[in-house]
Structure 1
């Protein structure tokens, strides 16, 4: 059956190698195939294969892309043109590469390493190796994958300054005082900050940098407050604000009369919704307190604590009636707002927004923290040099330094500018700010009409590297403003080749409600992109929720579902997906107990299998006759199977001595069951 691909035009445009693109490619949309085709299309036009550089974030992704390209070249070399459209297109592109290969004598078949497909970490390491002095690392260090002990050592060396009286001891003293003189906690926090220094070092490295001045940082806070308030105001002005404002005024007056220390009092005299300015933040927080509970949910009831006295608190019949009418009117307004999830989230965010200004004591601690962090980074560099090691962040930042400044590029940057004609970046949604800066330097000086192109692909809906400072907002920023001087034309892939239409429809209905309704560069909010199914095959989506203690019943339900599927379709393949390996333990245990065979890769550690544990215990016992725990383990193992009561009798007989000395006399050991006597007699032979 032939199906029309609704995003075929976007896929065709992505192969226009005269333009630069940013492609949003959701899971299952054929992103890797598109990258492969783009890479082949570029290879067919360049004079040297090294002119095309593809960057991925994992070695697995780099290996997969290299494998696909080499397979495409092999197929074009030895096989006829395929019948399927996408395979035919890849074959035709690879055929053109082979023509260029012969014309330019690249010998890609014998030298596949000329294909430049690297991870971001590999690229940074290669840049540092070419310019070690300019990068500031000197001799190229080994990259460690376990830098935590080095962070700890640097943090400890920083705090020691308090005792030595070296520069910075006053800042260390201030920071320690702020953290209740808890040295271990302070050391841990400094070490954690060192692990993320690529996020903040560029801001605090220079003590005189105006960007870390009090006015600059408070301006950032005020901007954040304003953006949060703007979003809330745009939603609230659409509500029945006249009646709601009357209720707000009523509640504020009552809170003031009762002399309650409530943020609602700041709403007194409010005639319209507050302006989206930081000066009005107290009024906005009063509104949030009135409308939401402490758990940021719409209020279902109101009381005197939020300015609505109970009916029984009225002094006379008229006042009692007023109290009741006011309360009921406000509850009706709340019921109208209850379905407005966007407004609830906006009001909840107002509660968490930071104060727009620092208190003097807060600023003193912040300045001390800046100096302590600068000292900690210096200590870490000394440790790196002494041990000849560096972490990925150090290599990354050094590579950025090695390229110089866009207005004053280094020799390496000029060399790369001449060598790299086309740059492709995979999984762009996982780009950090430092990596984004690296890409900006790699394309510095590029012009839209000089024949060089930038092609980035990613899915901001599935960013996974927040722990590495991946910023989804960078994807939105690149889509809107480009990278460096290179404008990027946006493309959207929508067809999902992996899932049937029933699943795709369910994804669209479900995740559209989960994702925000609008994009936001500052917060990294990304709206859901609707997907299209290739075919019309249906799927049955069933949800079996388990709440609280009911979760213990999950393995039994999973087994029941497996049995039902096998009864209907005995040859069906069944997959079980979980959040982490730990969630699989009760399920796999239940399947083992019921004789359900299953296969998993890297799910169950070999060392944790019972047979392996028993064999290890046997080995330890034979190597060390005094290893009581191992001897007890092998006596409990299936080949012996002695019960706990019999083990107690044996250990009582042995006392503090070696179990081996009494095992040979087990048949005469008092208190042993017949089964234990027989088992010991059998094993002793």
Structure 2
């Protein structure tokens, strides 16, 4: 029986020749939409795309296996109805060769087919985690021992500032964190050099031109751009017949401040402008015929923005740029030494792995990237291999896009058709930034947020919202919304939990009247796991229920 798709689900299934970002809330049927889109592409009687010409990137091997299984089951069902359809039979036969896989496996496939273009022995193997940890521990010990014996004053200053009295674990952890973070970028040594350049900046212009300062400016600019769009909608609400028109002047004043920030050209200008931004007190006029819900929405949204902006401003503007430069000058030598240690550590670990002819998963991605993109003197040029793959693949579909990083972004962009012909964009990205939980694995949810802000105004791009939840009762969704609209904001979660991202009920469930659910109120239990208690003492409070 044909499924009844919502209008937005239908658009996500049928729209082509665009780069599409699907913001899919929990329980919105994103996997079903993804599978249906693939099925329709490979079974289109007039213009089908063979399944081996699709790249479907999932976050885990289990998700890839489930996706392959669902596509296979759908094809088998269609073959039962049309047993003589040769295309259906071909797609089913080729499903095991399809690139429905994790990003690591996709990159490994590129690597194995093109290893002759790399400085690598074809008999390489992927190291297990325990082996890697032993190598890294040995390299770290040798590196620090070399510097202890070398008499480097900057090294001793770094150790005195950051290392413990009994061990070097603190400094080792710092080096490893920088090492891991750098490797989430396509060109890790270039990123490390940018950090050294920042620590060496002696003028405002040098500070503004450093990569970290540019990344920071990019972040705050996107934050203001997203906020401005929301405030334009708040202004429309205020101008509604039943809207709180007494707040119009406040919102206009806020928008004027945002425009001032968006007109800045670098982080130092942004900081100077932000320091001058003032928020007017909301009007106390009651207003006649004003919808109380509209009034509360505008008031709460404005308060959230004001508070979050002040937090960002307080962090950035606690010192002037000139004071930052003086701090950098005072602490520049230890910073440069720390980055130098991380860079040497990276080279030594790579050399140790090469000697054993082993690689790790991050190496696979970096090697694949080097096969697709030629990087020289700060500029990128796509290789012939990248052009060939971009021409070959009909579509690149990425699940859980909010958990991608910079390196993976460059790889998948390199094999996308849109960079060769923007009228035939073919990136399809599905995710939910509210569910990004892998920042500890160096996921970059800002990649999702950047497209979420820019795509609505970009040619050949579109954002599709799947907001309806088909999994839970409205009472559950109401409770979830009530909690997260209070605790999730841009500084904690990367996004403001506004009306645009709330969970909306997509199904009407039958009302239960059994003893297990006499009413539809949601029960929330909070347990304090930090409380130490005697198991025999049943009166020790450790849970609260509401």
Do the two structures share a fold, i.e. TM-score over 0.5?
yes
Does structure 1 residue 449 correspond to structure 2 residue 449? no
Please tell me whether the aligned partners of residues 41 and 97 of structure 1 are also in contact (alpha carbons under 8 angstroms).
no
Does structure 1 residue 128 correspond to structure 2 residue 111? yes
Does structure 1 residue 416 correspond to structure 2 residue 383? no
Deviation sequence 1:203-227 (CA, Å, 0-9, x none): 6448876993425445655985898
Please tell me whether the aligned partners of residues 203 and 211 of structure 1 are also in contact (alpha carbons under 8 angstroms).
no
- Residues in 2 aligned to 1:505 and 1:523: alpha-carbon distance in whole angstroms: 19
In the superposition, relative to structure 1, how do residues 540 and 446 fare at CA in structure 2: closer, same or farther (>3 Å)?
A: farther
Does structure 1 residue 533 correspond to structure 2 residue 535? no
Deviation at 1:490, TM superposition (A): 0.8
In the alignment, what sits opposite 1:100?
Answer: 87
In the superposition, relative to structure 1, how do residues 497 and 417 fare at CA in structure 2: closer, same or farther (>3 Å)?
A: same
Deviation at 1:383, TM superposition (A): 1.4
- Residues in 2 aligned to 1:276 and 1:209: alpha-carbon distance in whole angstroms: 21
Please tell me whether the aligned partners of residues 154 and 191 of structure 1 are also in contact (alpha carbons under 8 angstroms).
no
Q: Find the partner of 1:159 among 134, 140, 144.
A: 144
- Residues in 2 aligned to 1:165 and 1:116: alpha-carbon distance in whole angstroms: 51
In the superposition, relative to structure 1, how do residues 394 and 550 fare at CA in structure 2: closer, same or farther (>3 Å)?
A: closer
Deviation at 1:482, TM superposition (A): 5.8
Secondary structure of 2:428 counterpart: strand
Uncovered stretches (5+) of structure 2, i.e. residues with no partner = 232-248, 254-267, 279-298, 512-519
- Residues in 1 aligned to 2:187 and 2:19: alpha-carbon distance in whole angstroms: 29
1:416-565 pair list within 5 angstroms: 416-443=389-416, 445-450=419-424, 453-481=426-454, 487-516=460-489, 524-528=494-498, 529-537=501-509, 539-545=520-526
Deviation at 1:437, TM superposition (A): 1.4
In the alignment, what sits opposite 2:372?
Answer: 403
What count of residue pairs does the alignment treat as equivalent? 446
In the alignment, what sits opposite 2:126?
Answer: 142
In the alignment, what sits opposite 2:183?
Answer: 198
Deviation at 1:503, TM superposition (A): 1.6
In the superposition, relative to structure 1, how do residues 52 and 552 fare at CA in structure 2: closer, same or farther (>3 Å)?
A: same
- Residues in 2 aligned to 1:191 and 1:223: alpha-carbon distance in whole angstroms: 22
- Residues in 1 aligned to 2:474 and 2:537: alpha-carbon distance in whole angstroms: 29
In the superposition, relative to structure 1, how do residues 170 and 199 fare at CA in structure 2: closer, same or farther (>3 Å)?
A: farther
Deviation at 1:9, TM superposition (A): 4.0
- Residues in 2 aligned to 1:283 and 1:555: alpha-carbon distance in whole angstroms: 60
* CA-based RMSD: 4.6
Secondary structure of 2:129 counterpart: coil
In the superposition, relative to structure 1, how do residues 11 and 466 fare at CA in structure 2: closer, same or farther (>3 Å)?
A: same
In the alignment, what sits opposite 1:56?
Answer: 58
Deviation at 1:12, TM superposition (A): 3.5
TM-score w.r.t. length of structure 2: 0.68
Q: Find the partner of 1:116 among 92, 99, 114.
A: 99
In the superposition, relative to structure 1, how do residues 552 and 506 fare at CA in structure 2: closer, same or farther (>3 Å)?
A: farther
Deviation at 1:403, TM superposition (A): 0.8
Please tell me whether the aligned partners of residues 433 and 495 of structure 2 are also in contact (alpha carbons under 8 angstroms).
no
In the superposition, relative to structure 1, how do residues 498 and 98 fare at CA in structure 2: closer, same or farther (>3 Å)?
A: farther
Please tell me whether the aligned partners of residues 190 and 373 of structure 1 are also in contact (alpha carbons under 8 angstroms).
yes
Q: After superposing the two structures, state which structure 1 stretch, 424-433 or 200-209, moved more.
A: 200-209
1:18-37 pair list within 5 angstroms: 18-37=17-36
In the alignment, what sits opposite 2:10?
Answer: 11
Deviation sequence 1:562-610 (CA, Å, 0-9, x none): xxxxxxxxxxxxxxxxxxxxx9xx9xxxxxxxxxxxxxxxxxxxxxxxx
In the superposition, relative to structure 1, how do residues 137 and 34 fare at CA in structure 2: closer, same or farther (>3 Å)?
A: same
Please tell me whether the aligned partners of residues 398 and 429 of structure 2 are also in contact (alpha carbons under 8 angstroms).
yes
In the alignment, what sits opposite 1:607?
Answer: none
Q: After superposing the two structures, state which structure 1 stretch, 126-135 or 26-35, moved more.
A: 126-135
Does structure 1 residue 39 correspond to structure 2 residue 38? yes
- Residues in 1 aligned to 2:83 and 2:361: alpha-carbon distance in whole angstroms: 38
TM-score w.r.t. length of structure 1: 0.56
In the alignment, what sits opposite 1:630?
Answer: none
Please tell me whether the aligned partners of residues 124 and 395 of structure 1 are also in contact (alpha carbons under 8 angstroms).
yes
In the superposition, relative to structure 1, how do residues 404 and 226 fare at CA in structure 2: closer, same or farther (>3 Å)?
A: closer
- Residues in 2 aligned to 1:9 and 1:277: alpha-carbon distance in whole angstroms: 38
Q: Find the partner of 1:369 among 309, 327, 338.
A: 338
Uncovered stretches (5+) of structure 1, i.e. residues with no partner = 81-94, 242-274, 288-335, 558-582, 587-685
Please tell me whether the aligned partners of residues 21 and 463 of structure 2 are also in contact (alpha carbons under 8 angstroms).
yes
Q: After superposing the two structures, state which structure 1 stretch, 152-161 or 351-360, moved more.
A: 351-360
In the superposition, relative to structure 1, how do residues 365 and 24 fare at CA in structure 2: closer, same or farther (>3 Å)?
A: same
Deviation at 1:48, TM superposition (A): 3.6
Q: Find the partner of 1:347 among 310, 315, 338.
A: 310
- Residues in 2 aligned to 1:513 and 1:409: alpha-carbon distance in whole angstroms: 45
Deviation at 1:384, TM superposition (A): 0.9
Please tell me whether the aligned partners of residues 471 and 524 of structure 1 are also in contact (alpha carbons under 8 angstroms).
no
Please tell me whether the aligned partners of residues 23 and 457 of structure 1 are also in contact (alpha carbons under 8 angstroms).
yes
In the alignment, what sits opposite 1:381?
Answer: 350
Please tell me whether the aligned partners of residues 3 and 535 of structure 1 are also in contact (alpha carbons under 8 angstroms).
no
Deviation at 1:512, TM superposition (A): 2.6
Deviation sequence 1:405-448 (CA, Å, 0-9, x none): 39643343233123212111111111111111112212263323
In the superposition, relative to structure 1, how do residues 188 and 545 fare at CA in structure 2: closer, same or farther (>3 Å)?
A: closer
Deviation sequence 1:633-655 (CA, Å, 0-9, x none): xxxxxxxxxxxxxxxxxxxxxxx
In the superposition, relative to structure 1, how do residues 435 and 349 fare at CA in structure 2: closer, same or farther (>3 Å)?
A: same
Please tell me whether the aligned partners of residues 17 and 41 of structure 1 are also in contact (alpha carbons under 8 angstroms).
no
Deviation at 1:29, TM superposition (A): 1.0
Greater Rg over alpha carbons, structure: 1
Please tell me whether the aligned partners of residues 15 and 37 of structure 1 are also in contact (alpha carbons under 8 angstroms).
no
Please tell me whether the aligned partners of residues 21 and 455 of structure 1 are also in contact (alpha carbons under 8 angstroms).
yes
